[in-house]
A and B are shown apart, each in its own frame.
Chain A
Amino acid sequence: MSQVAKNRRSGNDWLRDALPKLVLSPSLAMVLIFVYGFIIFTFYLSFTDSRILPSYELVGWENYSKLFRIRAWDTAVSNLLLFGSLYIVICCSIGLALAILLDQKIRAEGFIRTIYLYPMALSFIVTGTAWKWFLDPGIGLQTVVRSWGWESFTFDWIKDGDMAIYTIVIAAVWQTSGFVMAMFLAGLRGIDNEVLKAAQIDGASNFSLYHRIVIPQLRPAFMSAFVVLAHMAIKSYDLVIALTGGGPGTSTELPATFMYSYTFTRNQMGIGAASATIMLMAIAAIMVPYIYSELREKK
């Protein structure tokens, strides 16, 4: 809108220009104060000697140097990388596959969709118990399969320090892949049929229909899925605590459990804040370029 023209606008037009921004501003204000304000607050706290409650005495880099000497922190970070990447990749693959399958004029689609979605509805506080039973070699899958005759079947990952993290991946995928499917399905439903019909008339095979037209149009849905999954991977607290409690030993520690533990259980809020700051910087390092590249291409 030209600047000259703007000066000659009437009040009505000014309102029309300002209205979108007004509509957006409450959300922006809330986020600025309650997210970024708090991030700055936490950043500040990471340089203080906060123990049980915030304190404002600065102690320099002490919290950070302590953080890097803590064994569990290394474990937590490497676990997150492993868990996060597996989780995101598997969920997206399963979610996309199921969405495409379900989109094929399936009878009882609503029913099947609910079956895929319901895991997210259950609070992990209790589903954790069901999964623990399932994964426990003494009473779970291993016992059942052995009772069917396959004597040497072993599935004791949850009790094994090296493999326990994979059980968390399984449970996490179970919980969220249905929702990812729903997101992709919504994306699929938003695709204009006319384009597809035109391509069919031109003789395109089903495979190239999907490969060339549908999946590229799902890019915004991928972005949403990635953000949602990354968010869940980073915030996985209930799931880990319910399934393994961080164990065996400290082998399934994740940054979310680490942060909670240091801030609230161990009364070392300074170190908790330092770990949170590092987490956020790492997330920013990945997310910001990704978001930038996704957003830049649109218009």
Chain B
Amino acid sequence: MRDYFGKTTAVAIALMATTSVAQAEDVEVLHWWTSGGEAAALNVLKDDLASQGIGWQDMPVAGGGGTQAMTVLRARVTSGNPPTAVQMLGFDITDWAKEDALANLNAIAEGDNWNVVVPAALQKFSTHDGQWVSAPVNVHSTNWVWANKAIMDELGIAEPQTWDDFVAALQAATDAGYVGLAHGGQAWQEATFFDGVAMSVGGPGFYQAAFVDLDEEALGSETMKEVFDRMATLRGFVDDNFSGRDWNLATAMVINKEAAFQLMGDWAKGEFLNAGKVPGEDFLCFRFPGSQDQVTFNSDQFAMFSQGDAVSAEQGALATAIMSPGFQIAFNKVKGSVPARTDLDASDLDACGQQAYEDFKAADASGNLFGSMAHGHANPASVKNAMYDVITAHFNGEFDSAAAVAELVTAVDIAK
């Protein structure tokens, strides 16, 4: 944006364009956080920068969990006019880093000890070839179960610890007339189930082999068939209208005591809190049975795009602000996720948030922190979407588990 300052001004004046000329001290941020809660979280960052005299040029492009924003980004980069910072997830960052589009943040990283406080599993995405290229803002984890406590108490169900317990609980809820599993039939939501189920069936080793290493044997194994079988079981507990439903409407079903459980990442917590529900009293949050020791995560990061040769002062300020302890806590409190640094005091977060943070640190320490396949942190976008296709087709009954396994192997092969 700055490089082209001269050219842009000249053309603008000559053609009387209506775009205003950018000040030298602004950051242009491309993101998709457009709802009230998300904007409040971003405003924390914006105010922080404002206090340093840096303006915020907002470039929001909502839709598809970032799909549209990524398309716009391509156009901006190709036309030589990249934004200063872009909200990005997982492998997208790596893909852009490979194109040499990202700025080198090592100077700032070293100054603030990022190497120490950011878990290795996260660094995999924030760095490329030893260079820091983005600043992680938060960590969401995806292997959660959200439960309506009133229903559980009414039916005398305890927090399920194993898969069989969980199925029994779902059955009990269904028999009592509630919807067992609240679900929104979109591919990514079914994939979120898949994450938890795969982890509980095959454990961390299987997860690593199948989703990260993309090992054909693991993908085509009996274990994988078992995963699909369990997905089919879950299919039996969703209501007839699940297809196409948005995830927050499914959460609303749990909030309104129409459904007993939802399998969703911890952004669901925000819905509960907004509805005035209290964790532990109105709703429960616990790990997917069988994956209690693991955390499958995804992390929103702001990738810094090269604006010239060196990292600009504003980018540096933005990166520092993002990683500052004060911001990390304030932001994540509003957003519902946990900080990306492991050295903070999380007592300001709510009960589920504090549990999440403890799990996060423990998983990091014990090597159980895995990038979520469903949210683009286990394999690149092409593979992730290929898996989505198979998972959702199977969930919607287009083929059975054995065929699904074969499809999965083929799909991943094409996508690599």
Residues of A within 8 A of B (CB): 51-53, 66, 69-72, 132, 136-138, 156, 158-159, 161, 241, 244-245, 247-251, 260-261, 264-268
Total A-B contacts with CB atoms under 8 angstroms apart: 86
Knowing A51-B95, A266-B382, A268-B382 touch, does A161 contact B398 (C-beta < 8 A)?
yes
Tell which of B70, B78, B98 touches A264, judged by Cβ atoms closer than 8 Å.
B70
Q: Does B381 contact A (CB under 8 A)?
A: yes
Residues of B within 8 A of A (CB): 64, 67, 70-71, 74, 77-78, 92, 95-96, 98-99, 185-187, 240-241, 243-244, 380-382, 385-386, 389, 392-393, 395-398, 407, 410-411, 414-415
Knowing A248-B185, A261-B385, A265-B70 touch, does A71 contact B392 (C-beta < 8 A)?
no
Are B244 and A265 in contact (CB-based, < 8 A)? Answer: no
Are A158 and B381 in contact (CB-based, < 8 A)? Answer: no
Q: How far is the CA of A72 from the CA of B386 in the complex (A)?
A: 10
Q: How far is the CA of A66 from the CA of B98 in the complex (A)?
A: 23
A-B contact pairs, 10 of them (CB 8 A): A53-B99, A138-B241, A156-B240, A158-B244, A244-B244, A247-B396, A249-B393, A264-B71, A266-B385, A267-B380
Residues of chain A within 8 A (CB-CB) of B70 are 264-265
Residues of chain B within 8 A (CB-CB) of A250 are 389, 392-393, 398
Q: How far is the CA of A70 from the CA of B390 in the complex (A)?
A: 11
Knowing A264-B71, A266-B385, A268-B382 touch, does A53 contact B244 (C-beta < 8 A)?
no
Are B244 and A247 in contact (CB-based, < 8 A)? Answer: yes
Residues of chain A within 8 A (CB-CB) of B95 are 51-52, 267
Residues of chain A within 8 A (CB-CB) of B395 are 249
Interface of A is mostly: loop
Knowing A161-B396, A249-B395 touch, does A266 contact B243 (C-beta < 8 A)?
no
Knowing A51-B95, A268-B415 touch, does A248 contact B396 (C-beta < 8 A)?
yes
Are A52 and B99 in contact (CB-based, < 8 A)? Answer: yes
Residues of chain A within 8 A (CB-CB) of B393 are 71, 249-250
Tell which of B92, B243, B414 touches A158, judged by Cβ atoms closer than 8 Å.
B243
Q: How far is the CA of A69 from the CA of B397 in the complex (A)?
A: 20
Q: How far is the CA of A52 from the CA of B71 in the complex (A)?
A: 10
Tell which of B98, B241, B381 touches A136, judged by Cβ atoms closer than 8 Å.
B241
Closest CB in chain A relative to B258 CB, distance in Å: 11
Are A264 and B396 in contact (CB-based, < 8 A)? Answer: no
Q: How far is the CA of A71 from the CA of B263 in the complex (A)?
A: 28
Interface of B is mostly: helix
Residues of chain B within 8 A (CB-CB) of A247 are 185-187, 243-244, 392, 396
Are A266 and B415 in contact (CB-based, < 8 A)? Answer: yes
Closest CB in chain A relative to B231 CB, distance in Å: 13
Residues of chain A within 8 A (CB-CB) of B411 are 70-71
Residues of chain A within 8 A (CB-CB) of B415 are 266, 268
Knowing A71-B407, A247-B185, A267-B95 touch, does A159 contact B244 (C-beta < 8 A)?
yes
Q: How far is the CA of A266 from the CA of B240 in the complex (A)?
A: 30
Closest CB in chain B relative to A139 CB, distance in Å: 9
Residue of B nearest to A65 (CB): B414
Residue of A nearest to B78 (CB): A53
Q: How far is the CA of A72 from the CA of B387 in the complex (A)?
A: 12
Q: How far is the CA of A108 from the CA of B336 in the complex (A)?
A: 56
- Excluding A51-B95, A53-B99, A159-B241, 10 further A-B contacts by CB distance (< 8 Å) are A51-B382, A52-B99, A71-B389, A161-B396, A161-B398, A247-B396, A250-B393, A264-B67, A264-B71, A265-B64
Closest CB in chain A relative to B99 CB, distance in Å: 6
Closest CB in chain A relative to B82 CB, distance in Å: 12
**Which 9 pairs between the two chains have the least Cβ-Cβ distance?**
A249-B396, A159-B243, A264-B71, A248-B243, A266-B382, A138-B241, A266-B385, A52-B95, A249-B393
Closest CB in chain A relative to B379 CB, distance in Å: 11
Residues of chain A within 8 A (CB-CB) of B185 are 247-248
Residues of chain B within 8 A (CB-CB) of A138 are 241
Are B398 and A52 in contact (CB-based, < 8 A)? Answer: no
Closest CB in chain B relative to A248 CB, distance in Å: 4
Residues of chain A within 8 A (CB-CB) of B64 are 241, 265
Closest CB in chain B relative to A49 CB, distance in Å: 12
Closest CB in chain A relative to B398 CB, distance in Å: 6
Residues of chain B within 8 A (CB-CB) of A264 are 67, 70-71, 74
Residues of chain B within 8 A (CB-CB) of A70 are 411, 414
Residues of chain A within 8 A (CB-CB) of B186 are 245, 247
Are B240 and A159 in contact (CB-based, < 8 A)? Answer: yes
Residue of A nearest to B392 (CB): A249
Residues of chain B within 8 A (CB-CB) of A267 are 92, 95, 380-382
Closest CB in chain A relative to B200 CB, distance in Å: 24
Are A132 and B244 in contact (CB-based, < 8 A)? Answer: yes
Residues of chain A within 8 A (CB-CB) of B397 are 161, 249
Q: How far is the CA of A156 from the CA of B243 in the complex (A)?
A: 11
Q: How far is the CA of A161 from the CA of B244 in the complex (A)?
A: 11
Q: How far is the CA of A104 from the CA of B395 in the complex (A)?
A: 53
Closest CB in chain B relative to A294 CB, distance in Å: 36
Q: How far is the CA of A69 from the CA of B390 in the complex (A)?
A: 13
Closest CB in chain A relative to B244 CB, distance in Å: 6
Tell which of A136, A158, A249 touches B398, judged by Cβ atoms closer than 8 Å.
A249
Residue of B nearest to A161 (CB): B396
Q: How far is the CA of A161 from the CA of B382 in the complex (A)?
A: 24
Residues of chain A within 8 A (CB-CB) of B407 are 71
Q: How far is the CA of A138 from the CA of B249 in the complex (A)?
A: 13
Q: How far is the CA of A248 from the CA of B398 in the complex (A)?
A: 10
